[in-house]
Amino acid sequence: MRTEGLTTAIEGVHDGEGRRIAIIFTRWNDEIISEMRTACLDTLKTQGVTKENIEEIIIPGAFEFPLTCTLAAESEKFDAVIALGCVIRGETPHFDYVAGEAARGITSASLSGNTPVIFGVLTVNTEEQAWQRAARDKDNKGAEFALAALEMAAVTEKLKRV
């Protein structure tokens, strides 16, 4: 917790020691997801999360996130849940339905309990845009989602004690 002036700021840290994290990822766009998953796992381990405290849950696609994230968040087994997926716009309105419902459902899952659920779903227009966000030699979003999960786990823990 930081104190600046007359206020106290609650701030999260990226310390993963003792943290239990669920990573829910899709089979759809599996090559892109695999890159984000690897970066996510590497980052969690670098920050002190042990292999035994990471549970991976594989689902078919992004439309299945709402139920799976809700069940994981409400289980109280995890300090944070990370939803990893990628929805690429196509020629039909399918993208709008899947991306929109995934976002709505993941938000709902996060609000359903006291466990933060990280929206780690790329919603892009092209496969090229997805790779720009998932390539190991660039700014891989999987690592960012891992850090966000640890930070939110710490913030949530602190807020529960206030």
pLDDT at 2 over 60: no
Band the pLDDT of 5: cuts 50, 70, 90.
low
4 versus 71: the higher-pLDDT residue is 71
What local confidence, expressed as pLDDT, does residue 161 receive?
84
Tell me how far apart the alpha carbons of residues 126 and 131 are, in angstroms, rounded to a whole number.
9
- Domain contains 22: no
- Domain contains 95: yes
* pLDDT tens digits for range 78-129: 999 999 999 999 888 888 899 999 999 999 999 987 899 999 999 999 999 9
Q: Residue 131 to residues 9, 101, 108: CA-CA distances in angstroms?
A: 36, 23, 28
CATH number at residue 127: 3.40.50.960
With 0-12 / 13-18 / 19 or more C-beta atoms within 10 angstroms meaning exposed / middle / buried, residue 92 is: exposed
- Domain contains 13: no
Q: Are 102 and 62 in contact (CB under 8 A)?
A: yes
- Domain contains 64: yes
What are the catalytic residues? Answer: 94
- Domain contains 2: no
Domain around 34 = 30-157
What local confidence, expressed as pLDDT, does residue 84 receive?
98
Structure tokens at 14: 């990226």
Band the pLDDT of 4: cuts 50, 70, 90.
low
- Domain contains 129: yes
pTM: 0.92
Q: Establish how many alpha carbons lie within 13 A of residue 141's alpha carbon, considering only the half-sphere containing its beta carbon.
A: 20
* Maximal CA-CA distance, the chain: 54
- Domain contains 58: yes
What local confidence, expressed as pLDDT, does residue 99 receive?
92
How many structural domains comprise the chain? 1
- Domain contains 126: yes
Q: Which H or E run includes 9?
A: strand 7-9
